[in-house]
């Protein structure tokens, strides 16, 4: 029988066995899962990429609206 896959919890780094016995995987617990969700909501985590907010919300007001 093969060894189970073990990953580190992204929040606390505790070992987590990857399988149905660990329903919160890759997190070790619901608490660590919620801590990570809170970090995303507080914008402490971000996916790298171009900042589209400037393009979408700061267009010149003198230009007519674009039709899609």
Burial of 16 (0-12, 13-18, 19+ CB in 10 A): buried
Tell me how far the alpha carbon of residue 16 is from its chain's centroid: 19
Which domains are seen in the chain, by residue range? Answer: 1-44 (3.30.50.10)
**Binding-site residue ranges:** 9, 12, 28, 32
Res 7: pLDDT: 97
* pLDDT, tens digit only, all 68 positions of the chain: 689 999 999 999 999 999 999 999 999 999 999 999 999 999 898 888 877 666 666 655 556 666 76
Burial of 11 (0-12, 13-18, 19+ CB in 10 A): middle
Res 15: pLDDT: 97
**Binding-site residue ranges for Zn(2+):** 9, 12, 28, 32
Whether pTM > 0.85 for this model: the answer is no
């Amino acid at each position: 029988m093969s060894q189970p896959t073990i990953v580190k919890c992204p929040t606390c780094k505790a070992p987590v066995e990857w399988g149905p016995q660990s329903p919160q995987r890759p997190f070790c617990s619901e608490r660590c899962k919620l801590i990570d969700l809170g970090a995303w909501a507080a914008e402490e985590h971000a996916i790298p990429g171009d900042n589209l907010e400037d393009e979408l919300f700061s267009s010149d007001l003198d230009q007519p609206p674009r039709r899609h």
